[in-house]
Each structure stands twice: as C-alpha cells, then as structure tokens.
Structure 1
C-alpha cells in the first residue's frame, strides 16, 4: 500500500544555513579550499572529488570535528515543520550528496530523532572525514556518490505524492520528478531560467504556510 505523501529535503544550504564544506573551508582551508572550489565550479573536478578533498583535509581530531559540526546553524523551524508533516500522515526524508557523518551527529545533538536520511557513508580517520562509498549500491552515482534521482524514483514508487525542497543544481533534476518543488538560494534562479513551476522559501515555516493553504482545498 502506498504511503500518503513524502516531503524530501536536501540538507546543506536547505536545512542548514551554510554548506558544511564552506563551514570547513572558512575555518581550516581558506586558500586551498577556495582554489579547489573554483576548479570545481569550472567543471574541473567532480562534486564527490571536491567534497572528498575538503572533508579529508580538515586536519583536526575527532572531538574537534564533532564540536565544529554541532556549531552548524539549521532552520529553527525544522522540528515544527517535521511535526506538521507527520500530523498530516506524511513522511519527512533527508536526501543529501554530502555525508551522513555530520548529518547524524547534528541531528542527534539537536534531538531530532527518527528522520530517514539518504546520503553518502563516511568515517573519521587520519584527522579528516573520508567517504566510504560502495560502487555497487543501487543508488550509486560516479559524480555525487549518491544519485538523488535514483532515490527519488524509488520513493515515488512508495508514496502517492512527493514534495521536494532544495537549494542548488544537484537538486534540479531530482526535483523535476516530484509533484511539487520548493526552492531557496541558487535553485530559485535555476528554476526561473528553466521555466519550472516552483515555490520559493526562506524557512520551512514558509513551506508549511503554503501547504496549509493547500490543505484548506484538500489538495495536500
């Protein structure tokens, strides 16, 4: 039996105010991190290779990395929004091309429990965070580690309706598979350029407001 609906959200720059890689670059890798960022933006590095370089070169012990992770700021309305989704018989799922390593730590620190997360596996070693990616995984992507489109296709087979929230280009194609899209930051201009229907938002509170208006028309 199909579930009622699922709300899928990107993590970095959507749930958080700042991408984790910028969090690390600004603290520890200002010159080389910005150089790698420019190469990545020019298309000279794959997304997974750029992130791998930043994460594995943090140069701090595990305790310090933990302290750095829990400093990350998230949308303060996230928990209320998740509760709202659950109250309407929906599921809330995080889909990230970053890594569960920092997502799980931050969610646990904030007492955000029982949230399903699809993301790349990673481990701490040699003073950094190292990806542990299985090329045989059904959601594998050579470019991103995890293929968001494959995950969304899978979730569409489990739910009657799908919603997606994201902030950048890696969210563009997977979001097109969903019934409705919500965009912040760079994804807004991408959708406008491509002529895609979407709702812009600054906070999950904005999305809840839109869905509540829809609810009055029995359309969620």
Structure 2
C-alpha cells in the first residue's frame, strides 16, 4: 500500500502564518487594515499581496524576517518516522515558494517537496504570483488544495493530512486521516468528518505509531 503524508506549512509546520509575521512588522496600521477587510472580504491571495507589498524591505530586512520563522521542533522526528515507514511526505501551501524555500533551506530541509504558489522578492517587494494556467489554480487562495489532494489520490492508497485553517479544509476532506489544529478542527466537524486534534508533530507521530 502506497502512503502519503501531506502537511500545510504556515501555522502547521510553523507557529504563525507568514502574513501575520509580516503584519507584526508593519504594526497597528496593518492590523487595522486586516480587521476592516475581514468585515467584508476573505484572506485571499489578493489580500495577502496587499500585506506583502505594504512596505519595501531591504535584503537584510527580508533575511531578518525569514530568520524569525521557526519550524515545529518535531518536524525532523516526523520525517524520520515517515521515511522509516516508507510513507512519502509533501508540504502543500497557499503561501508562496520564495519564502517557504528560504525557511526550509535555513533549517536544513531543502530536500522536502513543496507544492505552493509561485512568488518572488524583488526590488524590496514580496508578491505571490499564482499560475492561472495550473490545474490547481484558485482565484481565492491561488492554489486549490482539494484539487492537489485529488491528484495525489490517483497515485496513493492512503493519505494523511495535517492543517489548521480554512484553506486546508478542501484538502482535509479528501484525506483518509485528518490531523487538525486551530480553526480547522471545527470546520472539519461542521463538514461531518472526524479528525485527530494536535498541536505539534510530536503528537502526530504518536498517533501514527498507534496505527491510525
């Protein structure tokens, strides 16, 4: 039986979503904008590009921002366990590749597969640039994680998924086993599905060892 473990990146492998880290750097004016936006709109990739492009960053400021992002301390243990069990692993993210790859490289995980939106940091501006020709394109999140998961189901017999927010819901509902944290827990329950609640990958490994 061929198995795959899929994880969200921001807020699942990391403590905070990247855009929230950027907002903390912007300060009160950024958070005020978010509160006003949420009254009428979604946190979609158009909104995120507004946040990412709020201020120009120097190269050193960008590197400092990347340096503040810490991965779950149990990620290596998860990857080791999955490798030992011959279970493949992939990140699927509604963020963008530039900062994700920079974080993974910083932490020594540049070999890990990531499916996400294209993006760049050029002339002091970060920007998501989703591929509108992609079969996984979403006008909301840039990438439709549910479509990505459906493509995986053509290749794998059993798929695990771990996530934390609304963009993860469509992917979670395609999984055989759902690990959920944060707002995803209630969203999955509202959809009539069961999930395993977790906070860190250490708990995920414990459940996998029990044979979920």
Q: 1:131 aligns with which of 128, 132, 140?
A: 128
| Cα displacement (A) at 1:23 | 0.5
Is the contact made by 1:21 and 1:51 (CA closer than 8 Å) also made in structure 2?
A: yes
Alignment deviations for residues 108-161 of structure 1 (CA, whole Å, 9 cap, x no partner): 011113211011111112312112222111211111111111111111111111
* TM-score using structure 2 length: 0.94
Structure 1 partner of 2:10: 12
Q: In the alignment, does 2:82 pair up with 1:103?
A: no
Structure 1 partner of 2:74: 77
Tell me how large the CA RMSD over aligned residues is: 1.6
Structure 2 partner of 1:52: 49
Structure 2 partner of 1:121: 118
| Cα displacement (A) at 1:30 | 1.9
Alignment deviations for residues 40-76 of structure 1 (CA, whole Å, 9 cap, x no partner): 4334255111111111224211232122112112210
Structure 2 partner of 1:217: none
Q: Measure the CA separation in 1 of the matches of 2:55 and 2:7.
A: 26
Q: Size of the alignment, in residue pairs?
A: 212
Partner-residue secondary structure (3-state), 1:159: coil
Q: 1:177 aligns with which of 174, 180, 188?
A: 174
For the structure 1 residues 43 and 178, does the alpha-carbon distance in structure 2 shift closer, same or farther, using more than 3 Å as the test? farther
Q: Unpaired segments of 5 or more residues in structure 1?
A: 215-219
Q: In the alignment, does 2:150 pair up with 1:149?
A: no
Partner-residue secondary structure (3-state), 1:138: coil
Q: 1:162 aligns with which of 150, 159, 175?
A: 159
Q: In the alignment, does 2:27 pair up with 1:33?
A: no
